[in-house]
Structure 1
Amino acid sequence: MLIERNRIIYFVFIVAVMILGLGSRYYADYLPKWTYLYFGDVLWALMIFLIFGFLFKRKHTLWIGVASFLFSFAIEFSQLYQASWINGIRGTTIGGLVLGHGFLWSDLFAYTMGIGTGILLEKRLFTNS
């Protein structure tokens, strides 16, 4: 579906998802284990979907979904590369949040769920179909 995205709404959603994602890590000791293991990755991919929607406000939802999917999977597969220079970046807070630390197959499933959630939310909230 082709929609014209409101950047203010997408910005608010991006910030809300970031807060939820960081909260799922910060309060991990108080939440169920699955929340720490998977929910943060689902939210990370949803955030990527929202960022792509924010940046490319006139692109088709499918385009945003595929771009988000490719970006997320590329980041995950990049974790198989363990050179000292990139591990130095991963060792920083922002580098670790963006690039991750180690490849996990389960993260690919979580990313798919997050991007799928973004597609469904966009369909339900921003279109009449």
Structure 2
Amino acid sequence: MFQFNRNYFILTILFFLTEVAIALFVHDNFIRPYFGDFLVVILLYCFLKAFVKISVLVAASLVLLFSFAIETAQYFNTVEKIGMQDSKIATVVLGNSFAGMDLLAYTLGIVSIIVVEKMYFKTKE
């Protein structure tokens, strides 16, 4: 089940650097809030596939469920409820505000992954 995949690892690094660049240099009303969320599920997918040999649909489903769980935690103000609102790491990882549009961005990111994997790379998984 565990198997290192260099290509997905390289993609993980590229998507991570893109996310960092967006966080540091983009302060708008579309790229940062929505396109960043679209890309973050692709980043998480590539990270998972870099280390675990699982099917496209299983990996995509796990990432989408994880993303929805994080957004749900934001809805319930989990960071504050567990007393970590002053922790920069906790607020970055868990976030601090729910946005329904984020769920759409996550879903569109996962759909894009499946389309690219199934159509362009002819994945048989």
Q: Over residues 41-75 of structure 1, what are the superposed CA-to-partner deviations in whole Å (9 max), with x where a residue is unaligned? A: 11111111112222322x22111111111111001
Where does residue 24 of structure 2 map in the other structure? 26
Amino acid corresponding to residue 98 of structure 2 in structure 1: F
1:1-129 matches, cutoff 5 A: 7-29=5-27, 33-57=29-53, 59-82=54-77, 83-88=81-86, 91-92=87-88, 94-127=89-122
TM-score (norm 1): 0.78
- Aligned mates of 1:128, 1:51 — CA distance in 2: 18
- Aligned mates of 1:22, 1:42 — CA distance in 2: 14
Q: Over residues 76-113 of structure 1, what are the superposed CA-to-partner deviations in whole Å (9 max), with x where a residue is unaligned? A: 1011233142434xx31x43332111111011011111
SS in 1 for 2:97: coil
Against the structure 1 CA distance between its residues 49 and 128, is the aligned structure 2 distance closer, same or farther, given a 3 Å change threshold? Answer: closer
The share of aligned pairs that are identical, in percent, is: 28
- Aligned mates of 2:15, 2:41 — CA distance in 1: 10
Higher mean displacement: 79-88 or 66-75? 79-88
Q: Is the 8 A contact 1:76 1:103 kept in 2?
A: yes
- Aligned mates of 2:85, 2:36 — CA distance in 1: 21
SS in 2 for 1:85: coil
Q: How far did residue 125 of structure 1 move? A: 4.9
Aligned length, in residue pairs: 119
